[in-house]
Amino acid sequence: FLMLNVGTALPALRITVEVFSWTDSEAVTKVIPFCGALIHLAVATNRAELRQFVGNDLFSSIIQGLSVELNAVVSAELIGLCREIYLYLSDKDPAPKQVLLSLSDMKQEDLLAFDDCLSKTASPKEQKQHMRSLLLLATGNKLKALASQKTTNIITNVTTRNRGTVAHHGPSAEEEDRIGLAGLS
């Protein structure tokens, strides 16, 4: 559809790019599969316009989307899209490297080191970790969706228990069947 109906597709592509700046993580969640398909379509076809759109506009928008704290719930998927764009398009189009080099704290040496790290692993998980680290470095840790992951560790399964003045050793009958942190309180 995108390839045959360019006039209709352009507004849809523009909306896709804008979604990442919205404070609506549900909308971002819904557009991620479409973006993945766009990336694969750009790789599979020889359409320079589509490669340019994905490598420049979409890549920039996804990185901007990582600056929205509410996107923390989908940050792993967004990092995955960034990884795919860079990995599959940076050798065919200069746009992905230009986008990264345009980030506030990015240096040419950092990009070269990143390329070196990517060349040493075929693991998508490790490549995503490298991409995450590079984006944090390149933006001066300003990507709120990634920074909030570090501070969102919440301990659950903790209950309060009345502390009596009498000390006893060993678990009481009500504590024996508790597991996790609740059994330690």
Both tokens of 65, joined, read 């989307």
> Cα separation of 137 and 141, whole Å?
6
According to DSSP, residue 179 is labeled -
pLDDT in tens, 142-151: 999 988 655 4
pLDDT in tens, 13-72: 888 899 998 888 899 999 999 999 999 999 998 788 889 999 999 999 999 999 999 999
Q: What is the mean pLDDT of the chain?
A: 83
Closest residue by Cα to residue 75 from 126, 153, 148 = 148
Average pLDDT (88-112) is 95
What percent of the chain stands above pLDDT 90? 61
> Cα separation of 66 and 70, whole Å?
9
Cβ-count burial of 170 within 10 angstroms (0-12 exposed, 13-18 middle, 19+ buried)? exposed
pTM summary value: 0.76
pLDDT of residue 155: 45
pLDDT in tens, 147-169: 865 544 444 444 454 545 545 45
What percent of the chain stands above pLDDT 70? 76
Both tokens of 62, joined, read 């996804």
pLDDT of residue 171: 52
**Whether pLDDT at 182 is above 80:** no
> Cα separation of 38 and 13, whole Å?
9
**Whether pLDDT at 4 is above 70:** no
Both tokens of 138, joined, read 């390149």
Phi/psi-derived region of residue 127, left when phi > 0, alpha when psi is between -120 and 50, beta in every other case: alpha
Average pLDDT (121-126) is 95
Q: Is residue 20 within 8 Å of residue 64, measured between CB atoms?
A: yes
Sketch the domain layout of the chain as residue ranges: 2-145
- Bigger pLDDT: 46 vs 100: 100
